[in-house]
Amino acid sequence: EDKVVQSPLSLVVHEGDTVTLNCSYEVTNFRSLLWYKQEKKAPTFLFMLTSSGIEKKSGRLSSILDKKELFSILNITATQTGDSAIYLCAVEANGRKLIFGQGTELSVKP
Amino acid sequence: DAGVIQSPRHEVTEMGQEVTLRCKPISGHDYLFWYRQTMMRGLELLIYFNNNVPIDDSGMPEDRFSAKMPNASFSTLKIQPSEPRDSAVYFCASSFDPLEQYFGPGTRLTVT
């Protein structure tokens, strides 16, 4: 069965800290991995990764994929309270549909 | 663009009642997805459409759930009869590319 596992499930840090969120997966016919940020409402797209070893970066957020070890990490540097959210990892499985992990709930304290 | 529009935003109903959730995708998007999110199971894909045609409904939990997309600008997800275990947030998403999906604000359904 295809599955996506995220860790940790929750994390509390202080502003200015750097955090690393993990996503591991087991799916057939892997094509890509995506990261989403979900605040109080709907998930919003952050990154899509298809190739190993190539870092995607947007401001203080960056992500990298390791297709050999079947995982991805999402790094957030110099965290701010506005980074508090649930971060979702999703993997494209058969039929071009996404399988989501449980999410990591990040809380950034002032 | 207004983004993906869902209605209602909140729905409270009694067990056994029919529930209809509505979605208007972003204009021009030819993929539409229905998801359900719960604490226990996270975000699960229920069904998705491409050019108004259902492509994969393997995530629909049982016959009580049905979805339609009569045209490119409207889709419904119906639950009949509803049960307390259907309580969840239901998201609709749309996209050009099936992966870079734009989510609506969700409908929070409570079945008592």
CA distances from A81 to A18, A39, A84, B71, B81 (A): 13, 12, 6, 41, 42
- B41 or A59, which is more confident: A59
Contact B103 A103 (CB under 8 A): no
Q: Looking at the partner chain, which of A45, A95, A103 has a beta carbon nearest the beta carbon of B100?
A: A45
Instruction: Encode B2-17: b = buried (16+ Cβ within 10 Å), e = exposed.
Output: eebebeeeebebeeee
Contact A97 B106 (CB under 8 A): no
For residue B48, give how far its alpha carbon lies from the nearest alpha carbon of chain A (Å).
8
Q: Looking at the partner chain, which of A32, A92, A97 has a beta carbon nearest the beta carbon of B56?
A: A97
Per-residue pLDDT of chain A (110 residues; tens, 9 = 90+): 889 999 999 999 999 999 999 999 998 888 889 999 999 888 998 989 988 888 899 999 999 999 899 999 999 999 999 999 999 999 987 766 788 999 999 999 99
Distance, in Å, from the CA atom of B85 to the CA atom of B40, rounded to the nearest integer, reads: 11
Of A97, A34, A62, A44, whose CA–CA distance to B48 is shortest?
A: A97
Find tokens 């399988």 and name the residue: A99
Provide the β-strand partners of residue B74: B71
- Which pLDDT score, from 0 to 100, does residue B85 have? 95
Identify the contact set of chain B against chain A, taking CB-CB distances under 8 A.
4, 33, 42-45, 48, 55-56, 91, 98-106
* SS3 labels along chain A: CCEEEEECCEEEEECCCCEEEEEEEECCCCCCEEEEEECCCCEEEEEEECCCCCCEEECCEEEEEECCCCEEEEEECCCCHHHCEEEEEEEECHHHCEEECCCEEEEEEC
Instruction: Enter the DSSP assignment of B12.
Output: E
Q: Read off φ and ψ for residue A96, nearest 5 degrees.
A: 60, 35
CA distances from B41 to A2, A13, B37, B38, B85 (A): 14, 26, 7, 5, 12
Chain B: residue whose CA lies nearest to A33: B99
